[in-house]
């Protein structure tokens, strides 16, 4: 089974590509890190308790207002009020030192729990005999999850203005500065595109999304065709029938991707040294 890492940056169209891949003719199972990240911090979970313990004392509006007021601990599960994601976002999105520290703390709480749920989803897809499964992860490279993937797809835009305009249309409550902070917090998507392409044809592909829906669908078709064209159709069935071979294949992919990442890091170091 092929693990396809899908990433991008905020407002580049990654969610739209994920929706396309989950529908015919692809019908690929999607493991969405954003969805899992919400689930693992629902009231009553260990993630929720850790976030409230760290951010609560310094963030008065961390939880949504109680309703009714006389039931301050009421929530969908009866385990507490849900997190106020806008308030939490203001705490962690930005480039100053404190926000970077807070973002690292939040990631340290959420990421391990999300990984556990991802592994469960991958196992379910493998048992079902799927030829591939999509890991939809905004910070795929940053979290090191690209090492697990046989192919990486980056959804990107060539013009940064397109990304900002889409974000402001989607989230009109954001100020220009807040929108810029959120874009910068996820890095330049064009750097991610270059990193994907450095993996080689069929192993790292870019879906360029500066145009409309029809153009995007053609890009997705091109990319998936390239990825599938690099692998025989029967390979997923061989791995399903021989679990030890599937494990060995996963270990090999992890080692090879680690080597690719080291080569990329060395290339980046040399490029910066020239500046």
| pLDDT interval class at 68 (50, 70, 90) | low
Q: Which residues lie below 8 Å from residue 156, measured CB to CB, with a gap of 6+?
A: 8, 9, 12, 189, 190, 192, 193, 206, 207, 208, 209
Distance CA 22, CA 29 (A): 6
More confident residue, 30 or 89: 30
Compute the average pLDDT of residues 259-274.
89
- Is there a contact between 186 and 9 (Cβ–Cβ < 8 Å)? yes
- Lowest mean pLDDT across 132-141, 153-162, 182-191: 182-191
pLDDT at 233 (0 to 100):
82
Domain residue limits, the chain: 1-29+131-275, 34-127
Q: Quick one: what percent of the chain has pLDDT higher than 70?
A: 95
Model's pTM, two decimal places? Answer: 0.83
Run of H or E residues at 5? strand 2-7
What pLDDT, on the 0 to 100 scale, is given for residue 231? Answer: 86
Per-residue pLDDT band for 70 (boundaries 50, 70, 90) equals: very low
Mean pLDDT of 111-136: 92
What confidence category does residue 263 fall into, taking pLDDT thresholds of 50, 70 and 90? very high
CA separation for the pair 71, 212 (Å, rounded): 47
The CATH class for the domain spanning 1-29+131-275 reads: alpha beta
Q: What percent of the chain has pLDDT over 90?
A: 59
Task: Please compute the mean of the pLDDT values over residues 24-42 and round it to a whole number.
Answer: 94
The CA-CA-CA angle for residues 150, 152, 157, to 5°, reads 170
Cα 104 to Cα 128: distance, rounded to the nearest angstrom: 36
204: its two tokens: 């790292």
Of residues 63 and 69, the one with the higher pLDDT is: 63
Residue 76: is its pLDDT beyond 70?
Answer: no
């Amino acid at each position: 089974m092929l693990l396809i890492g899908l990433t991008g940056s905020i407002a580049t169209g990654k969610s739209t590509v994920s929706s396309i891949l989950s529908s015919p003719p692809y019908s690929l199972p999607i493991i969405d890190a954003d969805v899992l990240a919400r689930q693992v911090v629902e009231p009553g979970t260990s993630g929720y308790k850790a976030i409230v313990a760290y951010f609560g004392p310094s963030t008065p509006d961390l939880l949504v207002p109680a309703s009714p007021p006389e039931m301050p601990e009421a929530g969908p599960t009866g385990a507490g009020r849900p997190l106020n994601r806008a308030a939490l976002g203001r705490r962690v999105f930005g480039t100053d030192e404190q926000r970077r520290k807070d973002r690292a703390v939040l990631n340290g709480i959420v990421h391990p729990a999300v990984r556990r749920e991802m592994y469960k989803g991958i196992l379910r897809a493998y048992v079902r005999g799927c030829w591939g499964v999509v890991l939809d992860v905004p910070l795929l490279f940053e979290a090191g999850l690209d090492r697990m993937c046989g192919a990486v797809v980056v959804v990107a835009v060539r013009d940064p203005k397109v990304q900002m305009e889409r974000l402001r249309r989607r989230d009109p409550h954001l100020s220009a500065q807040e929108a810029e902070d959120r874009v910068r917090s996820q890095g330049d998507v064009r750097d991610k595109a270059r990193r994907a392409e450095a993996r080689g044809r069929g192993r790292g592909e870019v879906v360029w999304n500066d145009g409309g829906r029809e153009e995007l669908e053609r890009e997705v078709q091109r990319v998936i065709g390239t990825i599938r064209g690099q692998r025989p159709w029967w390979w997923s069935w061989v791995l399903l029938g021989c679990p030890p071979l599937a494990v060995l294949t996963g270990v090999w992919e992890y080692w090879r991707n680690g080597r690719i990442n080291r080569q990329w890091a060395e290339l980046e170091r040399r490029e910066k040294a020239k500046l």
